[in-house]
Amino acid sequence: MQRIVITGVTSGFGQQWLYQLDKQPDIEFFVLARNKHKFQAMLKQQPLKNGVHFVQCDLMSIDSIHAAADQINQLTDSIDILINNAGHWSDKTFTPSVDGIESTLAVNQIAPFLLTGRLLPLLAQANQARIINTASFRHTDAKLNLDDIQLREDFNAERAYCNSKLFSVLFTQSLAEKLTDSRITVNCFDPGIVDTPMLKQALPIWLSPFYGLIKRVIARSPDKGAETGVFLSQSKQGATQSGHYFKDKKIKSTAQAAKDPSLMQWLWQQSSQLSGFDYSFDLDTHGEGNK
């Protein structure tokens, strides 16, 4: 039995990722989402073959993430795959989460940081576990302000998004290094430009009338967008290689900034401070793992 925790399946290519994983038998899914009705409607249209637990979770709320992690801890004693796929592209103005954290940063970095940290002890109980983070080629357009991670002083939604995706790559590499002696791998990937609701939101307003044309010319289907995520979930490479950025099922090089150890350290410290969570790497990895 494989136990898979996944976010971001109620829209976009995360849906296809879930259904493609569901083609294999013996899976128990833990789907974290904020809108239960939306998920139920999705299942009504296309049921899952494997078992699924719906776990209510608004990734823009630290309390909600803790509650979801508590619930998963009640439901299982091990996790084989954690998929941090949910993503957010903000409105034009600075919008804080309930915790006062800029919303793009909250969903795209603080949530995966906290959720992963909370679930690490369960991942350590599997024979071999994987963490997969959805990043983006837009990480190459990041422009950080090290004194203002939230861009409070000069907010721009596109910049906040690009920064958050650089954070996904930095976080993946830091965590992989910290987990070197464990049975847990962590990788991230770029799905390419995918025809999803987020793509429409990401377009500058003046390009909106051409959305139909743009998506036909440059975007790939949600099925294709899910391909590398599915590959990392199922391939031997996803279980043996760690700390990499993939595209089209291959390791790709990242922007120079994503290789900077001082940025990795800075991001870890900021994420810890904003989430109020300190990782423990004193993992009990001596269990026999999930059979």
Ligand X SMILES: NC(=O)c1ccc[n+]([C@@H]2O[C@H](COP(=O)([O-])OP(=O)(O)OC[C@H]3O[C@@H](n4cnc5c(N)ncnc54)[C@H](OP(=O)(O)O)[C@@H]3O)[C@@H](O)[C@H]2O)c1
* Site mask for ligand X (CB under 6 A), range 3-32, x = bound: ----xxxxxxxx------------------
Nearer to ligand X, 125 or 164 (CB): 164
- Render the burial of 252-276: b for 16+ CB within 10 Å, e for the rest: eebeebbeeeebbeebbebbbebbe
R_g (Cα) of the chain, nearest Å: 18
CB nearer to ligand X: give 59 or 123.
59
Tell me the closest approach of the beta carbon of residue 129 to ligand X, in angstroms. Answer: 21
Q: How many residues bind ligand X (CB under 6 A)?
A: 31
Query: What is d(CA 52, CA 266) in angstroms, rounded to the nearest whole number?
Result: 37
Of residues 88 and 130, the one with the C-beta less far from ligand X: 88
The CB-nearest residue to ligand X is 12
* Residue reference for tokens 């109620």: 10
The verdict on 59 binding ligand X (CB under 6 A) reads: yes
With H, G, I as helix, E, B as strand and everything else as coil, classify residue 47: coil
The only residue of 52, 58, 81, 131 in contact with ligand X, by rule CB under 6 A: 58
215 binds ligand X (CB under 6 A): no
199 binds ligand X, rule: CB under 6 A:
yes
Q: How far is the CB of 194 from ligand X (least distance, A)?
A: 4
Question: How many Cβ atoms from other residues are within 10 Å of residue 5's Cβ?
Answer: 27
Residues numbered 71 to 100 that lie near ligand X (CB under 6 A) are 85-88
Complex with ligand X: residue 123 or 193, whichever CB lies closer: 193
Q: State in angstroms the smallest separation of the CB of 183 from ligand X.
A: 26
Element (H, E) at 224: helix 222-234
Only one residue has tokens 């630290």, namely: 62
What angle do the packed helices 111-123 and 157-178 form, to 10 degrees? 20
What tokens appear for 30 in the block? 């833990």
Residue pair 139/161 in contact (Cβ under 8 Å)? The answer is no
The amino acid at residue 103 is S
**Residues 101-160 close enough to bind ligand X by CB under 6 A:** 107, 134, 136
- Give contact residues for ligand X (rule: CB under 6 A): 7-14, 33-35, 38, 57-60, 85-88, 107, 134, 136, 190-191, 193-194, 196-199
